[in-house]
């Protein structure tokens, strides 16, 4: 078959399967078959790069990471909606419509997705740009991130020369729960709700990150369609579905009273939707009537968003228990008498932290009002003081970790109380994942799934246990086998010979990251010398402040910290600095790296700068000595030019490094 024809056929087949899987939810082939077709297309395009097109299925995550987002002026403003909070207000809305435009006729009712509003632009059937709503008139260009959303078609058949549609990007509830689980495991801040997660994902400068978040999108409006006209919104939405957009489900009703019934039904079924909703939208279906009604300065007069009030119920606090998260944070949880809320039975409610309990004076035995925050997380809204038992006493947070018994400390920002245990079982997965990570001990093949399997098999309880693993029990783990086990043990053995700075990073001591670890290893040279250091010696080192010094000393001399260091030493893990700075020729100079370098990665360039005594910063300021600009340098280069900072290309940078 002709190469061009084969590529075209593969693209059509892959686009068809994408549509069936991500839009219709009706896959017709196995993932394996799909992956083989995609691999074949990738091979053909790699051999014939002149045949690659922007709408190819291989280009879903093809963009480079950006320094910033460009602004987009919307051709048609993305208006917001007026809110109504009761059926009485909705009835008044309907009466205003009838008075202003008697021909209003029927309405469309649809769930209001709690996501991020986006406009998609197509030219001659090809997706060319996507932008956030912003202030309605000016948004941000997030095209590369939108390309990663598989339900968004990159090409359309039968589309007008120019088409702009509006929809809502959202994170499915199941994806949100898994994302937060992984973030907790990695010690990262949790997203508050799916909307925040979707917004944060869409504003990632690296499309690879956005792609990993598995976002979705539903289209609900045509902003502009050149040469195409419709009489009703329902007709327009059906036309979009025919173009293979994933379109919001809507219901057509004749009266506001019927709209209210549909809104109640949507509210009762809200748990069944794969996405979060915070209300329902009522829109005039007749597009001519919409023109008559027009818009105010803020929103269209022909639509309203009914906002569901959070459902609240009375319950009783039967107990307050403390959970220790994988980052060591002690989180209080109220065990409440079972109550039905938003379609589910609630028996637990979050109490956030000690300050939340104290502020609301929540006690065991209290009668309380419970609701679901964001319709997801049950929380206590208030206490009913007149129902408080006479023997109820104020709740007091524990002084020691309920899991390992180590002392607890309050974060410097006062928000959290945290376990200080170096070997706390509650933090085992997170600690092991961090210990083995690339910037720490860099143990290849020891990812979260393998760590989970090792812990489940009771083969590892502390990082030191990694160095006692035997091949046979590791090979017996699910999806391991003899060869994988041998490779893993070899990688663990290699990690014994890492520099001291990597070990210090791997400990996960608060405020002792990669940079501070390198400084400490270079300054003291060995773990023995570091253990002898005083707070005064530590704070005399640039970049090591009083708080960091105290956290470091507390960890090193804690019972669990001392035990872990001793166990690692016995296992043969190196505890000395293997590399010292090669000079101080760049001392006092600050560098900012931007763009892509050909001869090395930016991380490697930073290491060379630090080895010569220089510093690497992530932002350009008047104190920056040099900006090293590689290919595709962006906003940092422009800022350097504005500030008059010296700019080095790659050859100039290499020349500076090689100077005698």
Mind telling me the catalytic residues? Answer: 112
Closest CA to 219 of 110, 294, 105, 124: 110
User: What ranges in 317-423 are assigned the alpha helix state H?
Assistant: 354-360
The 3-class secondary structure across 589-644, one letter per residue, is CEEEEECECCCCCHHHHHHHHHHCCCEEECCCCCCCCEEEECECCCHHHHHHHHHC
Phi, psi of 222 (to 5 degrees): -95, 120
Q: Quick one: tokens of 203?
A: 């504003």
Check: CB of residue 624 under 8 Å from CB of residue 645.
Answer: yes
How far, CA to CA in Å, does 398 sit from each of 349, 394, 402? 19, 13, 8
| Half-sphere CA count of 300, side-chain side, radius 13 A | 20
Among residues 63, 61, 44, 40, the alpha carbon closest in space to that of 52 is found at 44
How many helices and strands, by DSSP H and E, does the chain display? 24, 22
* CA dist., res. 1 & res. 397, Å (int): 72
| 420 exposure class (CB count in 10 Å sphere: 0-12, 13-18, 19+) | buried
C-alpha–C-alpha distance, residues 249 and 111, integer Å? 8
Annotate 546-581 with b (16+ C-beta within 10 A) or e (fewer): eebbbbbbebbebebbeebbebbeeeebbbebeeee
* Residues 502 and 508: beta-carbon distance below 8 Å: no
Half-sphere exposure of 75 (CA within 13 A, CB side): 16
C-alpha 38/C-alpha 55 separation (Å) is 14
Tell me the CB-side half-sphere exposure of residue 626, using CA atoms within 13 A.
23
- In DSSP terms, 8 is beta-bridged to none
Contacts of residue 206, defined as CB under 8 A and 6 or more positions apart, other chains included, come to: 65, 66
The two three-digit tokens of residue 579, written as one number = 């590399």
Q: Considering just the CA atoms, what is the radius of gyration of the chain in Å? A: 29
């Amino acid at each position: 078959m002709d190469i061009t024809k084969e590529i075209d056929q593969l693209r059509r087949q892959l686009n068809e399967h994408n549509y069936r899987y991500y839009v219709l939810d009706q896959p017709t082939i196995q993932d394996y078959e799909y992956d083989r077709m995609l691999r074949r297309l990738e091979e053909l395009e790699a051999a014939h790069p002149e045949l690659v097109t922007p709408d190819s299925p291989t280009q879903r995550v093809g963009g480079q990471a950006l320094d910033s987002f460009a602004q987009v002026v919307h051709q048609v403003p993305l208006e917001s909606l007026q809110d109504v909070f009761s059926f009485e207000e909705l009835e008044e809305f309907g009466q205003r419509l009838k008075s202003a435009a008697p021909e209003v006729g029927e309405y469309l009712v649809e769930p209001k997705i709690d996501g991020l509003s986006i406009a998609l632009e197509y030219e001659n059937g090809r997706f060319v740009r996507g932008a956030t709503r912003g202030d309605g008139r000016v948004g941000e260009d997030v095209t590369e991130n939108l390309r990663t959303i598989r339900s968004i078609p990159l090409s359309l058949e039968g589309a007008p020369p120019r088409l702009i549609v509006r929809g809502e990007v959202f994170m499915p509830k199941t994806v949100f729960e898994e994302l937060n689980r992984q973030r907790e495991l990695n010690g990262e801040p949790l997203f508050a709700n799916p909307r925040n997660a979707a917004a944060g994902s869409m504003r990632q400068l690296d499309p690879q990150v956005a792609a990993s978040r598995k976002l979705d999108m539903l289209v609900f409006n045509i902003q502009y369609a050149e040469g195409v006209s419709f009489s009703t919104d329902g007709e327009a939405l059906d036309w979009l579905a025919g173009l293979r957009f994933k379109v919001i489900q809507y219901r057509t009703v004749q009266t506001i009273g019927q709209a209210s019934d549909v809104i109640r039904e949507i509210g009762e079924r809200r748990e069944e939707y794969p996405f979060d909703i915070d209300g329902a939208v009522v829109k005039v279906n007749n597009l001519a009537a919409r023109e008559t009604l027009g818009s105010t300065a803020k929103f269209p007069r022909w639509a309203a968003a009914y906002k569901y009030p959070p459902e609240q119920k009375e319950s009783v606090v039967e107990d307050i228990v403390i959970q220790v998260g994988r980052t060591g944070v002690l989180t209080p949880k109220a065990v409440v008498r079972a109550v039905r809320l938003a379609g589910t039975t609630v028996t637990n409610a979050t109490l956030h932290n000690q300050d939340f309990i104290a502020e609301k004076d929540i006690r065991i035995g209290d009668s309380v009002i419970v609701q679901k925050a964001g319709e997801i997380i049950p929380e206590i809204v208030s206490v009913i003081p007149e129902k408080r038992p006479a023997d109820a006493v104020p709740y007091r947070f524990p002084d020691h970790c309920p899991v390992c018994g180590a002392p607890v400390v309050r974060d410097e920002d006062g928000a959290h109380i945290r376990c200080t245990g170096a070997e706390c079982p509650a933090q085992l997965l997170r600690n092991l994942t961090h210990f083995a990570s690339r910037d720490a001990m860099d143990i290849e093949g020891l990812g979260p799934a393998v760590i989970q399997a090792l812990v489940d098999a009771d083969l590892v309880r502390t990082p030191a246990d990694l160095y006692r693993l035997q091949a046979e029990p590791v090979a017996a783990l699910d999806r391991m086998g003899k060869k994988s086990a041998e490779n893993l043990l070899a990688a663990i053995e290699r990690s014994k010979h890492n520099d001291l700075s990597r070990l210090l990073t791997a400990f996960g001591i608060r405020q002792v990251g990669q940079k501070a670890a390198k400084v400490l290893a270079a300054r003291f040279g060995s773990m023995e010398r570091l253990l002898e250091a005083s707070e005064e010696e530590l704070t005399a080192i640039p970049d090591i402040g009083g708080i960091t010094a105290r956290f470091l000393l507390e960890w090193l001399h804690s019972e669990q910290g001392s035990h872990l260091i001793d166990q690692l030493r016995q296992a043969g893990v190196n505890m000395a600095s293997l590399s010292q700075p090669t000079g101080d020729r760049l001392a006092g100079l600050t560098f900012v790296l931007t763009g892509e370098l050909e001869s090395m990665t930016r991380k490697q360039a930073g290491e060379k700068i630090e080895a010569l005594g220089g510093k690497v910063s992530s932002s350009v300021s008047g104190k920056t000595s040099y900006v090293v600009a590689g290919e595709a340098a962006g906003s940092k280069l422009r800022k350097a030019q504005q500030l008059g900072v010296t700019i080095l290309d790659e050859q100039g940078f290499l020349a500076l490094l090689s100077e005698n």
